[in-house]
Amino acid sequence: MSSRFTIARLGAQGDGIAAADDGEVFIPFTLPGETVTAARQKDRAALMSVLEASPLRVEPPCRHFTECGGCALQHFEAEAYRKWKRERVVQALKVKGIACEIDALVPCAPHTRRRVVFSARRTEAGMLLGFVRALSSEIIPIEECPISLPAIVAALDRLRRLADLVCATPKAFHMMITVTASGLDVAVQDAGKLGENQRRIASNFVMAEGLARLSVDGEIIVEPKKPVVQFGSVAVAVPPGAFLQATEAAEQAMAGLVGQHLSRAKKVADLFAGCGSFALRLAAKSEVHAVEGDAPALAALDRAFRFASGLKRVTSERRDLFRRPLTFKELNGFDGLVFDPPRAGAEDQSKQIARSDVPLVAAVSCNPVTLARDLRILLDGGYQLKSVTPIDQFLWSPHVEAVALLEKPRRRR
């Protein structure tokens, strides 16, 4: 049974929010000001029809929109979408009492995402490969994807066949696809244990189809071409399933802001350094100490530095910064610092940075809420916020990156 709703505003996940007698109702794929009918279940409702459309409603570019679970906001006019996404950062900082002029959002172009994670499952009708419908386990097979690089879309049939070759489970499993300079890097998770014949057939397929690498649960099955990405002037051979920023343009934008802010620093700490997207760029001007908990990522960073030329010294340290953050005394040996933690942020590490004398700090985050919490800690510790730049690298999703730049005058010792 459907009911009539008027959408008041967008929620943090991009759903329209309507008022009801017993609370708020979240209705995906709607916009503020619209009158809609929707089938309600508790505090959520499935859109049935739009009775009065917003002037900001546009035609979605993808046939799978509303089904595949990947995009939330393809129906939102571009300029209004960018303002809404910037406002997510504004509001998160406001909640923590942080007043700062927020720069305009750095936009994300379509067809630029270089890393996607597909879900796959074998069925009686054949192999499903696609994305999971929102709030469901149903895999929606896809034929197009306007956020992804064309190289990924062009390979969908090959990837579906490869999924069939490596599948050794009746359950759903995942395939992470990364576009590298060497070709597609395919990292499979939870597909079951491969038999020897499967390994041989899958290896032959990868080589015949020109893929760069196939790994299963972190084990390299075949690697005809070592997958390589560029961080500035440095080529990095990334490990299977390595974390990379979703788009190269967003990574360059973030690196540019961080590099300019830390350009006067002679010795820089890069915390949560990953494979070195900041460290190896910063090493063009500064000595860098890279700290990361993931051993394969850190090994890739170190190897890239050793084979590169024209860089200042880069040292590396494997350390779980959630369990054992660098202390303020350790940090006082640096005159610049960048940290780029996972979505949970870096609360304990921020407390140590706040107590330190590091004059230049760049905070990079994919979660405005935890960024605001961490910035509040730094500001209470004497730092001054110089700028905050929102960056969109998750097009048509509610997620937004941000780079915050801070300074603290050196204390006399």
Give all strands of the β-sheet with 336-339 in edge-to-edge order.
314-318, 287-292, 267-271, 336-339, 360-365, 401-407, 384-391
Distance CA 360, CA 330 (A): 15
Torsion of CA 356, 362, 366, 369, to 10 degrees: 50
Q: Which residue has the tokens 């690196």?
A: 255
Buried b (16+ CB within 10 A) or exposed e, 285-301: bbbbbbbbbbeebbbbb
DSSP string spanning 138-202?
-EEE-S--TTB-HHHHHTHHHHHHHHHHH---SS-EEEEEEEETTEEEEEEESS-PPPHHHHHHH
Distance CA 105, CA 191 (A): 39
Q: Out of 108, 167, 275, 366, which one is annotated catalytic?
A: 366
245 assigned ligand-binding residue: yes
387: tokens are 């700028």
Region label for 23, one of left (φ > 0), alpha (ψ between -120 and 50) or beta (otherwise)? left
Distance CA 266, CA 248 (A): 27
Distance CA 24, CA 14 (A): 14
The answer to whether residues 385 and 99 touch, using CB atoms and an 8 Å cutoff, is no
Q: Based on the residue annotation, tell me whether 366 is a catalytic residue of this protein.
A: yes
Distance CA 29, CA 52 (A): 14
13 assigned ligand-binding residue: no
Beta-carbon count within 10 A of 338 CB: 29
272 assigned ligand-binding residue: yes
Beta-carbon count within 10 A of 9 CB: 14
Distance from the first to the final alpha carbon of the chain: 71
292 assigned ligand-binding residue: yes
Q: What are phi and psi of 218, to 5 degrees?
A: 85, -10
Binding-site residue ranges? 245, 272, 292, 340
- Active-site residues: which are they? 366
Binding site feature residues for S-adenosyl-L-methionine: 245, 272, 292, 340
